[in-house]
Chains A and B, each alone.
Chain A
Amino acid sequence: MFTWLLRRLFQACFVVLAMTVIVFVGVHVIGNPVDILISPEADQAERARVIAAFGLDQPLWKQYALFLNGLLHGDLGRSFVFNEPALRLIGGRMPATLELAVTAVLMSVGFGVPLGLYAGLKPNGFIGRSIMAGSILGFSLPTFWVGLMLIMVFAVTLGWLPSTGRGETGELFGLRWSFLTWDGLRHMAMPALNLSLYNISLVLRLTRAGVRETLLMDYIKFARAKGLSPARVIFVHVLKNIMIPITTVVGLELGSTIAFAVVTESVFAWPGMGKLIIDSINVLDRPVIVAYLMMIVVIFITINLVVDILYTVLDPRVRLETKA
């Protein structure tokens, strides 16, 4: 277990390093921030001064070396626009995205598993078929459209929920969180639902497929032959088996939900990382883009690690060995 963990951490470092190269080269290809940041009226001397201040006069390899040096000291550079450390800038926005993504993923499990279970147990009933038909909508409707529809129905027409912002926040661990206040929760409801719709469909279909498959297994028939109640058979024997694929997908989806909350955050003006990154890309604020992407990589690696460890809890046949 310990050697396995060490190995994984080593691999993770390598992935991060590889990612820095890709990201660094990538952002230098998409455009020159100088054109956007410096006003057209500035004279040549002013231009040269700003370029030198951002370190953009250095060759690419030297900029990269400086960046790596900073990385080792926990410094990912300063935002060109806000003149703040990029990491602090992102950190300030992170709680908003994090709580939104976690709520969305919890909702996807909370709705997806029961609905999928029902659809799997009664695949030919009217309700089972309706659930499956509904899940196709969840897959295929574009997020921004659903977001706008939610706003139209619940905020404009019915006036039940607020349509923008985080609302009142409470403080925990020195950070501001919306889920701690009733007003904050009301603000979070629609964006979280919007963000989770795709994941609900995904988890639902996965659960249904797992249930259909597991029900045919001999051990389910044997469990019934033992005289167990249907509830015990479904909630212990079936559910425990399908939790393995669901955990994998939910783990991966948590990562992509954090990374791609952009659309939902834009529609609901949710002040999270997604909105920050879109703004940063617009003005080619390189340090923020790089820092953001680095952080997403770390989040993904961490989630995958946690999922791997969860496997050993869920599936006794999986043991974390040093050999692959």
Chain B
Amino acid sequence: MSATLEVRNLRTHFHTRAGVVKAVDDVSFSVDAGQVLGLVGESGSGKSVTGFSIIGLIDPPGRLAGGSIFYRGQDLAKISEREMRSLRGNRIAMIFQDPMMTLNPVLRIDTQMIETVQAHVNVSKAEARARARDALGMVGIPSPEERLNAYPHQFSGGMRQRVAIAIALLHNPDLLIADEPTTALDMTIQAQILAEVQKLTAEHGTALIWITHDLSVIAGLADRIAVMYAGRVVETGEAADVLDHPVHPYTHGLIGSVPSRNHRGERLRQIPGMTPSLLSLAPGCAFRSRCAHATDACAQEPPVTETSPGHTARCFHPVSS
């Protein structure tokens, strides 16, 4: 069976006055139906740009500079904007980080939901409204019929994210891209939203790409993990494998910097230095200036090596643990 989404050697570049920013540079991964891929990385590592590249919403000065995005065997990098639009919000949906900003403040919830239904299927307004109401009920919004008439500012942050999820799931998409949808929420709400998305995507066999910088969120959710650094996937593998036996020094550092109960009283380990500017990236491994294992060899482009079946890293000096 072919994957729902297969991204191959994706490159997304931003052509700014100061130079070319390679926000996404040779990224490959795939997600199967019903599977959850965790895309992990610091801010600026290119994980959100990867998400927007897939759904075709990269705005100038950015553009796809190469690679393919196969959705059910069809290359999204090559189809027209019109064809892309018929997939967007329909077969491929996305939810955003800040629920306070994703809903249009001057339009009622029903307007924003009905337009989404009618953008893809030819149904009456009453039918579209009924579907919108059912979707709201599905994501756990009480008395959905009345809430349809509300405006976004009448909802709390968590409720707004539920509305955004309801909108994204209106057409039972094959692929859902979730761009840090719980980062802006309270811990308790975060857990609820997480459970909700997990349940709904599992029910419909939706492939899910969960973009986050928070390893603790991804641990219980993802089937596979891809760790991004400076526009590249530096390590990828089964979630448990990557979290328990990280091989790339960066993944190591990332896991080490998560507070945990097991190491109470110890100082948290930090990754020294800062993420490099993507504008002036020297060739070779982008992490080498912060890496304890770096040698002269790291000035060359590290190859992708398979350290164990299904577990790959882009490093000359994989760490064994």
Contacts and interface: CB of A to CB of B under 8 A. Distances in A.
A226 B96 contact: no
A223 B94 CA distance: 10
Contact of B106 (A223, A226, A240): A240
A225 to B, nearest CB: 5
A55 to B, nearest CB: 55
B151 A241 contact: no
Contact of A227 (B88, B101, B108, B112): B88
B98 A315 contact: no
B120 A227 contact: yes
B107 A317 contact: no
B167 interface: yes
Contacts of A316: 105-106, 108, 151, 153
Interface in B58-112: 85-90, 93-94, 96-98, 101-108, 112
B57 A240 contact: no
B93 A225 contact: yes
Contacts of B119: 226-229, 232
B184 to A, nearest CB: 11
Interface residues of A, number: 22
A228 B102 contact: no
B9 interface: no
Contacts of B151: 316-317
B101 A225 contact: no
A17 to B, nearest CB: 37
Nearest to A221: B57
Bin the interface of chain B by size: 20 to 34
Interface in B147-172: 151, 153, 164, 167
A218 B96 contact: yes
A241 B104 contact: yes
Contacts of B164: 222
A227 to B, nearest CB: 3
A219 B101 contact: yes
B190 interface: no
Contacts of A222: 94, 96, 102-103, 164
B62 to A, nearest CB: 13
Contacts of B90: 227
B55 interface: yes
Nearest to B90: A227
Interface string A213-246: 0000111011111111100100011001100100
Contact of B89 (A217, A228, A317): A228
Contacts of A240: 104, 106-107
B186 interface: no
B53 to A, nearest CB: 13
A219 B57 CA distance: 13
B115 interface: yes
Contacts of B116: 226-228
Contact of B101 (A217, A237, A241, A315): A217
Contacts, number: 75
A167 B283 CA distance: 77
Contacts of B85: 227, 229
A314 B105 CA distance: 10
Given A221-B57, A227-B119, A228-B116, A241 B105 contact: yes
A223 B107 CA distance: 12
Contacts of B55: 225
Contacts of B94: 222, 225
Contact of B57 (A217, A224, A315): A224
A228 B115 contact: yes
B103 A219 contact: yes
Nearest to A124: B60
Given A221-B96, A226-B116, A317 B101 contact: no
A226 B108 CA distance: 16
Nearest to B117: A226
B147 to A, nearest CB: 14
Interface string A14-52: 000000000000000000000000000000000000000
A211 to B, nearest CB: 14
A235 to B, nearest CB: 12
A110 B106 CA distance: 22
Given A226-B119, A227-B119, A218 B101 contact: yes
B285 to A, nearest CB: 33
A224 B96 CA distance: 12
B120 A317 contact: no
Nearest to B99: A218
Contacts of A232: 115, 119
A225 B107 contact: no
B51 to A, nearest CB: 10
Given A226-B116, A232-B115, A218 B102 contact: yes
24 contacts: A218-B101, A219-B102, A219-B105, A222-B96, A224-B57, A225-B57, A225-B89, A225-B93, A226-B116, A227-B85, A227-B89, A227-B90, A228-B89, A228-B115, A228-B116, A236-B107, A237-B107, A241-B105, A315-B105, A316-B105, A316-B106, A316-B153, A317-B105, A317-B151
Q: 4 closest A-B pairs (Cβ-Cβ)?
A: A227-B89, A218-B101, A226-B89, A227-B88
Given A226-B167, A237-B104, 11 more contacts: A218-B97, A219-B104, A222-B102, A225-B57, A225-B96, A226-B119, A227-B86, A227-B119, A236-B107, A315-B106, A316-B106
